[in-house]
Amino acid sequence: MRKRNNVVPIRFSDHELSVIDANAKRAKMSRTEYLVSAGMDKPIVILDDLKPMLAELRRIGNNVNQLTRKANSGEIYVVGLNEINEQLGAVAAGLAAIQKEVSKASQR
């Protein structure tokens, strides 16, 4: 583990400090981690939470699955639901991969 044994007093205006703190919070980093990362030119990943988007995608997928079942049972006639379902699966997998990479990057 890295040891930080140097203390550097630094002054910020109230506005500057509030912006730094807000950005650190959005990046899920402490103030120190945020400032060190910025100073060392490390990537700082700030991405709004994907959970609401994934939840909505799941709801859409559930609706498509219900329509597919009804179409397969002959209750309704719909064209292309299997293709839509496959595409939704690909989008969901892509979003999950993005969320996983962002989580990894923020832990570095």
pLDDT in tens, 57-103: 888 888 888 888 888 888 887 767 777 778 888 888 888 888 787 77
Q: Which comes out higher in pLDDT, residue 11 or 106?
A: 11
| 81 closest CA partner among 60, 96, 95, 57 | 60
For the chain, the structural domain boundaries read 12-46, 51-107
Q: Which comes out higher in pLDDT, residue 35 or 72?
A: 35
| 29 closest CA partner among 45, 41, 5 | 45
| The overall pTM is greater than 0.85 | no
Q: Are 95 and 54 in contact (CB under 8 A)?
A: yes
DSSP state of 10: -
Q: What's residue 27's pLDDT? A: 83
Phi-psi category of residue 74: left, alpha or beta, with phi > 0 → left and psi -120 to 50 → alpha: left
